[in-house]
Structures are given as C-alpha cells and as structure tokens.
Chain A
C-alpha cells in the first residue's frame, strides 16, 4: 500500500471548517483513500473513503485531486468534539489491513 504524509498537528477555530491535507504521491490506480480519527482514549472511528470522485457523508467531505496524489478531509463546522488524531490511509478496497501512521493531531479551539 502507498505511503501517506500528513502534517503533525493543526489548529482550527470552533465553528470554522477544518481542512486536513494528505499527500499520497505514490498511490496506484486501485488504491482508495480512507480517513479515520481517534478521539483521546477511544477506538479509531471510520470517517469516509473514496477512489477519485469527491465524497460526502454526514461527518465530512473528501476532496481528491485529479491526479490523486493528494486529498483533503473537510469537517465543515468543527466542534470541540472533533479534537482528535486524524489518519489518512491508502489501501486497495479489500486489502488485508489498515496501516496507521502518526496522523494529524487536530485541536479545535473555542
């Protein structure tokens, strides 16, 4: 599975959109981009995944660049409860396991 690169940490003001970037320049054609998050002391939580089209669900939006070498997870109206570590993972759809990197620590500030 391709490697991803994310900023170590980010801050976002409560109520504003949080835009979390991820680079995956070695992604191959059959690999999907997945996003998970881990709120302190809890298990990781699935957020969203996509192949090449932009995706949206009740939690977030995923914007994937046309060349698929990077993506952005958007939390449209961040709340304090969105403070967590966010993981961007690239994997084939039915690959064997998810490889979690260090992720981005998002702090939503009041």
Chain B
C-alpha cells in the first residue's frame, strides 16, 4: 500500500492556467507538507498543515493555495501558472513534526 500518494505524477500546462495537485496519506499522520524542488534540485518547504490548520507558510506567491479537507489530504491549487512554477512538487506527512515521509512527486511543466 502506498503511504503517501500524489496525483497526477506529471502535469504539463500552459502559462496562465489554474491547476491542482492532490496528496493523500494513509499513515494516520496529523501533519502534512508541500515542498518544491526546482531545476537546481534544492528542496524547499512551502506549506505545512497540522490537523487541517496551516502552521507554516513560507514566502510563496499567493497564487499557491493549499487546502486540507481532512487530516489525510492536502491539496495544492495554483492559479495563473508561470514558467517559474515548473518544478517537482513533493507532498510529505509526519506524526506531529517528527520524521517526514514523502510522496513520489508531481513534475509540473509550464509552457
């Protein structure tokens, strides 16, 4: 069984479009995260949710809006996509804020 899953795995879209990435975890964790890994391979935290409440919101454009309908899901919606949004986006989860378990990633390409 997949512990942390993301859909879609690949996403190709044009500038200006709005898209969503979904994340689900079946580990019973109470904290979920979104990370962005750019072309230089640096992995940076974007958001963190604990029990459906936002606890970290790094310097991210407000075009990015996370939504957590329940503890097992954390979706990422991106409005007005730009070329610079092209990256791999990883979802992760943890119990409280102990070690994190990552999903397989979503490779977003904006053309």
Residues of chain A touching chain B, judged by Cβ–Cβ distance below 8 Å, are 34, 38, 41-46, 49, 85, 93-100, 102
Known contacts A44-B43, A102-B42; 4 further A-B pairs (Cβ under 8 A): A38-B43, A45-B102, A46-B100, A98-B45
Output the least CB separation between A25 and chain B (Å). Answer: 22
Q: Show 24 residue pairs from A and B whose CB-CB distance is below 8 angstroms, ordered by the A residue.
A: A38-B43, A41-B105, A42-B104, A42-B105, A43-B4, A43-B90, A43-B92, A43-B102, A43-B104, A43-B105, A44-B43, A44-B90, A46-B99, A49-B99, A94-B97, A95-B97, A96-B55, A96-B56, A96-B97, A97-B33, A97-B45, A97-B48, A97-B56, A98-B100
Number of interface residues of B (CB under 8 A): 22
A41 to B105, CA, bound (A): 8
